[in-house]
Structure 1
């Protein structure tokens, strides 16, 4: 099909595409700037098929680079800016990125990555925009089969996996959302979630496909988000539970206008009291279920069901299918099992991970590892994002990744990590450690050790020392039993 931004700039050139940081661009301006950036990237040696990593915060410049890469046929590798340098370096090496583009806010991380030589070329956004443009014929058409994005998601093996998402995955995700939520000319979607996450990137995809304005926050601010809804005509917000809680606390007795029609709530099952409080305030909350592998949402509540099915993630979106399996057997209504999904928005697999791909994708069906059930009407209820997954402030924390860091400390013999309820973040990771004999260690030391090797949200908030970890007959760690140790030992040695 025609290049999305070219087509959008042709159809609605004067319509506002993006705004943020006190600046706004129309689709025509965005197309012009993106093409200019594409030619400057060519000067950096970027060619079709190259992988280009982005260490960029939320902003118009990130949108510009994203579209510039599509004009070249290069693959975008968005990096989580909250990761530790060691984690970023691993992803750069694994993705085989040829260029890293960073902005001023992430200069120090980029400088360290450059010194470590994990990527051939490193350039700042400011430096990139000062380069001369290389005359080159830019792409005018896109293939839905081509890979657009490699986005890393945490895995149970301790290393993240690069999810390959095609133009078709993004296209069908956007179409499915519009078919469910509807589309109006005045729609404006607030981007308060990180654009390196699927939730943020998907809004930018929808923006150019729909011809809708994306209003970008550099960092989420509940007061500013409420002001934008109340006074700037924001109609949609993507949020996680902690963001919605902060917005309602700030909102006080005020009410959103009727023009605000969607608070799209993802990041794991929301507490029912939060949903009931939102209902009392007439906030149109639509729970949704999805993941990086499904290019954002694949199950979402329809507007007419938002009150009747409070607590449900909704029905599978139009072009997709869903099954609940127990082993190979399809579960009956109300019976919990593994959520499996299939559709044109589901990834083709993981970058350089053929075995991992074969384990979770068979005949197009993605085994999510999440547990849930379908009721008699086909509404999905998610019981657990994964049996071991910790969701802290909307961020996924996989215990195996944190355990690997703890086990690398010379004083740690065994380690397990589990989530415990946290009033602010929903859940927080706690480390359960069996120290080695004759090698004393303090909990604070282990926390500092993790801080140098993990993103802040992954660092255990507490270390609990135990005599043994709960394991089954085959020796496998039973993580769901770890929080029981809190009532037995608390912080310090369990004697």
Structure 2
């Protein structure tokens, strides 16, 4: 059969042929070369085939961060099966719903989840297998033909969104989506043969999974950490030659706190910061420290990055997420109308990295994707030079007296006070103004809350309507597994506060 432009050799097979002895993946204790990763992935493919997994089947993965995660992802691709990564922090009923919704044929989980999974009654005939069962199983006898080529339009993964409203939606991502996301990123950040990417974000999230894709496509090493620890992340950069890392702003803050008076080595060339608008005080702190931080903007629906700040613009365009990567496009829109530079509106993106749609959700797909444009639900603007500035989620926007209040802007003002370690801002209903901002803060060790001091601090930096009417001290802010702030949970907490008052 003559190959078409819509297919290519299997990524891991090609990579193992090109650089078999090059380091592929490690965890600080073990290391596999690309040849070893290839062999493990093929072996898992044969074993999964023995359990009846075939092309098009969905396989749910409830796994922690470890090297074997990569082997399962690539093993499924050798069968043409679709990986459905599950968030390890969800409640059992949420896992059950996603497995059922995806119509997963097999559910593979780490041993620590065994009792919980076995206690869940599924509506489907999903086969539940521990990772140890799969790894110990006999292969299918070598009779299963593993895929030698990848079809770019075929689904590779289904990743469920966090579900800010209603049930989460399964985002279908094709091999082409993952490929173009990786290519767009490398054309912006560049590539060095000694690059090493630190994966201390969850592999079941887009930020983590995309690292495993780049790993094979680029032929660079990845170090996987079981969970984020700022001291261990800094050691990986300073002692184990990590050159790139993906973080959100809260992770970066903790790393800088732990780093203290020290600095990162010159070989460390990229701290890719996503997960929402980064507070300006943090960016200024990184700039003063010489940390190579590049803001980025993306989402599950865009297979990770869609917009990233080019290295040469990191200082001149402080606070910007950058320009769209190759070959993506960006537009600020109000309905079908494209807005002019400086006008605030909904961020829309399109390109081959954008999802074809949501699993079994034709109405949601039609609503989100119109004429090729994915309407993100985020608010932002572009400047005269075409650089994107992300303001906030449309769902988090506070409308006070007819004025827009962006929580991220108020949070940045609070974080510029030396006593504040973390801040989260939400809207509270108000009879006169519609909504008013209320802030939750986590203080640094040894600090005490003086509410009026922080309010005055905000008055000096914000328009009057943006200043929080109340500041509530808390020991922690609700975050998801990628350390993104969950403002919807702060709103629920605010309701409880009101009841207590």
- The TM-score range, normalised by the shorter chain, is 0.7 to 0.9
Q: Is 1:423 paired with 2:429?
A: no
1:143 match: 151
User: Structure 2 matches for 1:19-58, cutoff 5 A?
Assistant: 19-20=26-27, 22-58=29-65
Q: Which residue of 1 aligns with 2:128?
A: 122
Describe the shift of the 1:280–1:90 C-alpha distance in structure 2 as closer, same or farther (beyond 3 A). same
1:200 maps onto 2:208 in alignment? yes
Cα displacement (A) at 1:419: 8.4
TM-score w.r.t. length of structure 1: 0.81
Going from structure 1 to structure 2, the CA distance change for 1:156 and 1:249 (only over 3 Å counts) comes to closer
Partner of 2:389: 381
Counterpart check, 1:256 vs 2:264:
yes
Q: CA deviation at 1:459?
A: 5.4
1:167 deviates by: 0.1
Residue aligning to 1:437: none
What is residue 191 of structure 2 aligned with on the other side? 183
Answer yes or no: is 1:369 the counterpart of 2:388: no
Structure 1 residues 117-126 or 167-176, which shifts more?
Answer: 117-126
For 1:51-106, what per-residue CA distance to the aligned partner results, in whole angstroms no more than 9, with x for missing partners? 00000011111111100000000000000110001111111111000100011233
Q: Say whether residues 1:492 and 2:496 are aligned partners.
A: no
Aligned residue-pair number: 419
| Distance change >3 Å, CA 465–CA 357, structure 1 → 2 | closer
1:235 to 243, 251, 262: 243
Q: Which stretches in structure 1 are left out of the alignment for 5+ residues?
A: 400-415, 426-455, 467-489
1:130-150 Cα shifts (integer Å, max 9, x gaps): 111002111000010100000
Question: Does 1:296 pair with 2:304?
Answer: yes
Note the aligned Cα RMSD (angstroms).
Answer: 2.4
Q: Secondary structure at the match of 1:142?
A: strand
Shift of 1:155: 3.8
Contact 1:462–1:491 (CA under 8 A) maintained in structure 2: no
Verify: 1:223 aligned to 2:242, yes or no.
no
Quick check: 1:340 aligned with 2:359? no
| Structure-2-length-normalised TM-score | 0.80
Q: How far does the alpha carbon of each residue in 1:346-400 deviate from its partner, in whole angstroms, 9 at most, with x for none?
A: 00000000011001101211011110000000000001133338999xxxx9x9x
Q: CA deviation at 1:330?
A: 1.2
- Residues 31-180 of structure 1: pairs in structure 2 closer than 5 A: 31-113=38-120, 115-116=121-122, 118=124, 120-134=126-140, 135=142, 136-155=144-163, 157-180=165-188
Using the TM superposition, give the Cα deviation of residue 239 of structure 1 relative to its aligned residue in structure 2, in angstroms: 0.2
2:204 match: secondary structure: coil
Q: Which residue of 2 aligns with 1:277?
A: 285
Q: Cα distance 1:2–1:301, how it changes in 2: closer, same or farther (>3 A)?
A: same
SS in 2 for 1:492: helix
What is residue 408 of structure 1 aligned with on the other side?
none
What is residue 254 of structure 2 aligned with on the other side?
Answer: 246
